[in-house]
Structure 1
Amino acid sequence: MSSTTSAYFDRAYRRPLTLWGDIRIPPEIAALVRRGAPNGVLDLGCGVGRFSRYVAQQGLRVTGVDFSPVAIAKARARVAADEVRPDFLVGDVTKLDALTGPFDLSFDVGCFHCLDATQQGLYVSEISRLLAPGGTHLIWALDAAPAGIPLDAAAVETTFAPRFELRDAKASRRRLLRSHWYWLVRSAE
């Protein structure tokens, strides 16, 4: 799908505004961060880093990853004057060799639903490798994914099993689109 390439997103991030630009911190992310994370937080598909910045401002170590170099450059510029800054990395969420875990928490707001089935499997493998057993991974995904794969609780549960347990799924109208938040907990091995 051409709309899931880094070049496509680079072009979008060069614009002053994107369709997916978030101004508010979702309450689901705020609640996740309140749990604390001594080993850090991973923000997948971080875009211009607004959520990563929020996490860092809450006193947690956070690493934001996005495959758009333009987005990561904007994220770094956004936090340049901050006393506490996230780490930002240009990277593919299906191949995060530059990172080592464990992280206590991870989240993804709008990345997973852009992946095809093969990429989703690789994504799950990487999150499983990086997230500590018992760690939580939070996803926000459109019900009608741009990748054309149906996403509902059963599909997410199947894709993440047996490495993760789906603990909760909550319908959302985020950005006025039908979507869900999914809370997954990393299984002990």
Structure 2
Amino acid sequence: MERELRLGRASLGHGGAGAAAGRVRDLGRRSAHADTRDRGWRGTNSLWLAERGFEVLGIDVAPLAVERARAKLGGHGLACRFATLDILAADPPDGPFHFVFDRGCFHLFDEPDERARFAAALAPRGLWLSLIGSTEGPPREVGPPRRSAREVALAVEPALEIIELRSSEFRDHGALAWFCLARRRTMPAQSSYGVVASD
């Protein structure tokens, strides 16, 4: 996961370690509708980002996960805090955010207005880094819901501009994933139809 976060951090044009880079949101288990088997969030990525100069808000729907993340934070004096929140039911505090990291959250956003609402939480040109369950790989009984590359692109592009979409994996259980780095749009995506080449 650290490699993915490093790539997202580099895309922010972040300077040396410890330089301020704006507000970041780390999404754990994002909603009461999430897979209840996902119990791995402990705020680790939030702390990693805070150690590198970001002001971080880590969010999870489970109070126990937030309690454990706060215990891990301890008295380190980092610009990092944690909140219990169902992001499908309430807007997160302290926006807009320059960077949102989401590990397996994307599958919750089934409606275009939901995706647009979360894109609006980004600052202008803000980045959204998401690890999304992939349709690639063998059948499996556990792990995140699966999305094809086409489904990811169709879902992301109305609200966000895709910078990079490539194959990755959830390293804790080996399920294949899509690494999707996207940016808040400054203008709507243009139609792919009706373009006539000029002579």
- Partner of 1:42 in structure 2? 25
| Counterpart residue type for residue 86 of structure 2 | D
TM-score w.r.t. structure 1 length? 0.75
Superposed, which structure 2 residues align to 1:102-141 within 5 Å?
102-113=96-107, 115=108, 117-118=110-111, 121-122=113-114, 124-141=115-132
- Partner of 2:184 in structure 1? 186
- Partner of 1:177 in structure 2? 175
Unaligned 5+ segments in structure 2 are 15-19, 30-40, 136-141, 188-199
Per-residue CA deviations over 1:93-122 (Å, capped at 9, x if unaligned) read 224424142211111012223x2624x752
* Higher helix fraction (1 or 2): 1
Pair 1:95–1:133, CA change in 2 (3 A)? farther
Shift of 1:153: 2.4
State how far apart, in whole Å, the 2-side matches of 1:95 and 1:84 are: 28
| Counterpart residue type for residue 42 of structure 1 | R
* DSSP-derived class of the 2:153 partner: helix
Alignment equivalent of 1:83, drawn from 56, 74, 77? 77
* DSSP-derived class of the 2:120 partner: helix
Alignment equivalent of 2:147, drawn from 151, 167, 173? 151
State how far apart, in whole Å, the 1-side matches of 2:90 and 2:51 are: 25
- Determine if contact 1:61/1:86 at 8 Å carries over to the other structure: yes
* DSSP-derived class of the 2:158 partner: coil
Pair 1:39–1:96, CA change in 2 (3 A)? farther
- Determine if contact 2:125/2:186 at 8 Å carries over to the other structure: yes
CA RMSD of aligned residues (A): 2.3
- Determine if contact 1:107/1:139 at 8 Å carries over to the other structure: yes
- Partner of 1:9 in structure 2? none
- Determine if contact 2:27/2:60 at 8 Å carries over to the other structure: yes
- Determine if contact 2:8/2:181 at 8 Å carries over to the other structure: no
Per-residue CA deviations over 1:71-101 (Å, capped at 9, x if unaligned) read 0010011101212141111111224424142
| Counterpart residue type for residue 110 of structure 2 | A
- Determine if contact 2:24/2:99 at 8 Å carries over to the other structure: yes
State how far apart, in whole Å, the 2-side matches of 1:53 and 1:60 are: 9
| Percent identity between the two aligned chains | 27
* DSSP-derived class of the 1:188 partner: coil
TM-score w.r.t. structure 2 length? 0.71
Pair 1:102–1:116, CA change in 2 (3 A)? closer
| More off after superposition, 158-167 vs 33-42 | 33-42
